[in-house]
Chains A and B, each alone.
Chain A
Amino acid sequence: MSRSIVPLVLEKLDPYLEQQAGSWATQPEQGRHPTLPATADGKINVRQLVRDLGFKETIEQHFYRKPELSGPVNAVAVEQGLKPIGSRAQEDEAYAAVRVIVGRNAQELSDLRRELSEREALIEALRNENGRLQARLGLLEETGMTLRYARDD
């Protein structure tokens, strides 16, 4: 990653934050609304922020990785009552959701495989049993006799 991206972004970010902080301050104290772009659950909408700055969405990742970029944003975000970028809580939530999905899929996968394995084994056992019964019927009709196949016979 080129380090030159940080000053490039900061060049646009600083005046943007300045402007957003100003807009926040001009609102009546009672019933202020965040001026930074936010998600429905009260987090910074980093993707929208990047778009507002006129950058491509690929720049989004740098806000998570570079404290030089996330720091100034978070300062304004906290003031406006939004959850900061890269907060532990935000990460935890995201990871927890992934864990739930992965866990559920893995469990479903495992159950499915076990069930299918049992069925395949059963089908094979029934196919063999069918073959044996057919052979015994064949022997009965050919010789008039049955084969003693039980252990105690």
Chain B
Amino acid sequence: MIESIVVERIVSRRDFGTIFSGRTKDGATVRVRADRNALMGVPEVGQIWSVHGEIENTTWGAQVKASRAVHALPSGRLMIDFMSRSVAGIGPGRAQRLWERFQERLPEALDVGDVDHIARVLEPDRPVLGPRLAAALVATWRKMAGEARLVEWLAAVGVTDVRLARRIYTLLGDEAPSRLQNNPWCLVPLLSWSKVDELGLRVARENGITVPQALPQRLTGAADAVVKDLIALGSTAIKTEDFRSKLATKLETTGNSPILGKAFALATERHAVVPAIEGLLRAPGCAVMEDHLAARLAKLARQGPSRQLRNVLDGIGANFGALSEEQALAVRKALSAGFTCLRGGAGTGKTHVAREICRLWEAAGGNVLLAAVAGKAALQLSRSTGRLARTVARTLHQLDERARIRNELAAHSDPDEREKLEARLRDLAHADENTMAIVDEASMLDLSSLHGLLRRLPNGARLLLIGDECQLPPVNFGLLFHRFVRDQRITATLQSVHRHSAASGIPVVAGLLRRRQMPNLALYGTSIRGVLLLPADGRDDIADKVISTRQRLLGQSEVMVLTPVNDGPCGVAGLNRRLHDDYVARTELQELRGPLGDLFSPGEPVVHRRNDYRRGLFNGSVGRVRRIERSQRSLTAVFDEEEHVFAGDELVDLALGYALTCHRAQGSEAKNVIIALSNSRLLDPSWLYTAVTRASELAVLVGQEKTIEEALGRPYPEDRRVVGLNWPPASEAQPTGHR
């Protein structure tokens, strides 16, 4: 059903959305529940909302469950109500004055937006107040009208996703419908190619174009779609011949067709790709970020230590206390420039060195900003340095929040209000010209995260990346740390293993895996330490043995379960379900079912599945369920000590977190680690090495030796990704003998 409803009462406004009651055109009273994702704006009393949805029966009676609710444009005398309610300062009197002057042409006058004219009608004798009210009214009207017209346009072409509409409006503004009408293929970054192409062809035909297949907009859109695909695989560049071949596939044509030639020419002409050296074509958006960060980091790398830092280092001489000679050298090297990297395998004491770097930097009058890509890695960094570390995502979010509050402070003179705002600043991440930002597990640091961090760091702030290039690459696009550590001028290397005792045998096995050599593994049951093999044949057998081994080890100490795949009985979902059932059987707690069938109970670990900039949560953020409310279909979970409510369809963003993929476990450590060796192309040397080195005492590989051999036969991800990063930038490059 679709209804125009005048909102009469806001029943409830919560994180998940709004429940309101109102009246239809026929005068019937109706109650509407609209989740946040279905709402285009925030309903207020007196507004007209166009509601799409189905009627459902609830304990409060019948209500419409809105699949889409959009603020509808008022007309006629309802304009008076709209104006007096929507803009502070325009009461009924001024609204009436405008209506009397413009009558039915008022919407048109607001569209034109002649602020001076409207101000004269609103307040002829107040030359200061009048224009301000008029400008606010025009802005409010345009935003609402723009959104409503865009939603109407999108609905007409079959796109009904309110979140998408909201995003397009933010990106394109009032002109969104006309821009989309002109080039629907511009939506490639936001929608799949098949959907965009279908939409584009339909719109073009409606515009009277009988053969739209060869339209330049479509051909450029296809090139954009190829670029999108390569970014999805983690690359930021592509070989020219590969690009041509994928473009032909996208356009469903052959390699020598005229349309492909035209599309290829348009791709470079309209910057769908940027030609680079060695026959590579770069993704333009990624190229912008890569070039920007390379230039900034090259400049930083030229900055030497400050006078205070030199004094501190001179003061301690060679006396680095508990640090080994190699570690002491690494400390000096890491502090020698504004941008450096610290690399080393598992157990070489990277975080130990990081702690000493923090201490010296602070002694020289600086401050540190500690971050890691994954939540568990951030926790580990906090523990090992004795200083607060956050996830990179949370750091970026807090730096933005700090900037926002600073702006608010500039506008507030009330001492009470200022005190409240200043109190909120105290716990937020901070960066100034004396900051050294240290990012651990940097092999997983993707292009957008580092770009985002750098643009939030003020000039003068320094950067240290710590990691192991043999561990997993970033989940998202780009490859940075792996490239930076090839430059010995900025890289300190740790090679001696300290963490794992020789008796555990883990360092020896890890070293072999790192070199892609097959280790000779003892069988599980013959020892309680080291890297052991528990033979299992087939996915069900692997799953059974993972579960039984976990139950056996759980009573003794912490256990981590890792698997390379998401689906199937020994994938993340299958193992999580079995472990959840086991948990519920033991605790008898209630459970809540999410839209994808996942079940959650209080106390269980959860993982966030996508980047949500509004919440400051990212794909892989790890939290724990605090409570569930089955009647509201909502769940409250704690991430980084902050509560987040997920209601209705928002639960799709959560998954159980008993069993993890290796990416989510990187940076964390457990006494016992169980590794499901399911056949997967993701099983490669970096995956195996990362998984095994999560264990401090015991790593149990559940599966077959053959699977390990196959994994070691695959190349490192670094060799599979094609990236366009130029490091060091051409102007900085030294003769090869130096490197």
Q: Does A112 lie within 8 Å of B127, measured CB to CB?
A: yes
- Given B131, B236, B447, which contacts A120 in the complex, CB threshold below 8 Å? B131
Render A105-117 as a binary contact track against B, CB cut-off 8 A, 1 for contact.
0000110111011
Q: Does B231 lie within 8 Å of A148, measured CB to CB?
A: no
Q: Does A120 lie within 8 Å of B132, measured CB to CB?
A: yes
Q: Tell me how many residue pairs across A and B have CB atoms closer than 8 Å.
A: 112
Total interface residues on B, CB under 8 Å, equals: 48
Say whether A75 faces chain B, with CB atoms less than 8 Å apart. Answer: no
- Given A109, A117, A127, A139, which contacts B171 in the complex, CB threshold below 8 Å? A139
Q: Does A113 lie within 8 Å of B451, measured CB to CB?
A: no
Contacts A113-B130, A144-B236: A120 and B135 contacting too (C-beta < 8 A)? yes
Say whether B521 faces chain A, with CB atoms less than 8 Å apart. Answer: no
- Given A117, A127, A132, A143, which contacts B228 in the complex, CB threshold below 8 Å? A143
Say whether A59 faces chain B, with CB atoms less than 8 Å apart. Answer: no
Question: Interface on chain B toward A: helix, strand, loop, or mixed SS?
Answer: helix
Say whether A146 faces chain B, with CB atoms less than 8 Å apart. Answer: yes
Cα distance, A128 to B452, chains bound together (Å):
22
Q: Does A113 lie within 8 Å of B189, measured CB to CB?
A: no
Say whether B284 faces chain A, with CB atoms less than 8 Å apart. Answer: yes
Q: Does B172 lie within 8 Å of A149, measured CB to CB?
A: yes
Cα distance, A144 to B286, chains bound together (Å):
5
Say whether A121 faces chain B, with CB atoms less than 8 Å apart. Answer: yes
B219 to chain A, nearest CB (A): 12
Q: Does B284 lie within 8 Å of A132, measured CB to CB?
A: no
Q: Does B132 lie within 8 Å of A145, measured CB to CB?
A: no
B265 to chain A, nearest CB (A): 15
Say whether A141 faces chain B, with CB atoms less than 8 Å apart. Answer: yes
Q: Does A148 lie within 8 Å of B115, measured CB to CB?
A: no
Render B267-289 as a binary contact track against A, CB cut-off 8 A, 1 for contact.
00010000000000001111011
Q: Which of B165-201 contact A (CB under 8 A)?
A: 167, 170-173, 179, 182-183, 185-186, 188-190
Say whether A136 faces chain B, with CB atoms less than 8 Å apart. Answer: yes
Render B538-571 as a binary contact track against A, CB cut-off 8 A, 1 for contact.
0000000000000000000000000000000000
List residues of chain B with CB within 8 A of the CB of A147: 171-172, 186, 189-190
- Given A116, A119, A124, which contacts B138 in the complex, CB threshold below 8 Å? A124
Q: Does B119 lie within 8 Å of A132, measured CB to CB?
A: no
Cα distance, A114 to B134, chains bound together (Å):
12
Q: Does A141 lie within 8 Å of B448, measured CB to CB?
A: yes
Say whether A151 faces chain B, with CB atoms less than 8 Å apart. Answer: yes
List residues of chain B with CB within 8 A of the CB of A123: 135
Instruction: Tell which of B171, B220, B448 has the most Cβ of chain A within 10 Å.
Output: B171
B684 to chain A, nearest CB (A): 23
Q: Which of B215-250 contact A (CB under 8 A)?
A: 220, 224, 227-228, 231, 236
Say whether B113 faces chain A, with CB atoms less than 8 Å apart. Answer: yes
Q: Which of B100-141 contact A (CB under 8 A)?
A: 113, 115-116, 119-120, 127-128, 130-132, 134-135, 138-139
Question: Interface on chain A toward B: helix, strand, loop, or mixed SS?
Answer: helix
Cα distance, A39 to B131, chains bound together (Å):
44
List residues of chain A with CB within 8 A of the CB of B130: 113, 117
Contacts A116-B127, A151-B179, A153-B183: A144 and B231 contacting too (C-beta < 8 A)? yes
Cα distance, A120 to B139, chains bound together (Å):
10
List residues of chain B with CB within 8 A of the CB of A121: 113, 115, 135, 138
Say whether B320 faces chain A, with CB atoms less than 8 Å apart. Answer: no
List residues of chain A with CB within 8 A of the CB of B687: none
Say whether A131 faces chain B, with CB atoms less than 8 Å apart. Answer: yes
Cα distance, A38 to B18, chains bound together (Å):
77
Q: Does B183 lie within 8 Å of A148, measured CB to CB?
A: yes
List residues of chain B with CB within 8 A of the CB of A117: 115-116, 119, 130-131, 134-135
Residue of B at shortest CB range from A110?
B127
Q: Does B611 lie within 8 Å of A118, measured CB to CB?
A: no
Q: Does B171 lie within 8 Å of A149, measured CB to CB?
A: yes
Render A63-98 as a binary contact track against B, CB cut-off 8 A, 1 for contact.
000000000000000000000000000000000000
List residues of chain A with CB within 8 A of the CB of B227: 145
Which 7 pairs show the lowest CB-CB distances between chains A and B? A120-B135, A117-B116, A141-B448, A113-B127, A117-B115, A117-B131, A145-B189
Q: Which residues of B contact A (CB under 8 A)?
A: 113, 115-116, 119-120, 127-128, 130-132, 134-135, 138-139, 167, 170-173, 179, 182-183, 185-186, 188-190, 220, 224, 227-228, 231, 236, 270, 283-286, 288-289, 447-448, 451-452, 477-478, 611, 613
Q: List 6 A-B contacts (CB under 8 A).
A: A114-B116, A117-B134, A141-B289, A141-B452, A153-B183, A153-B270
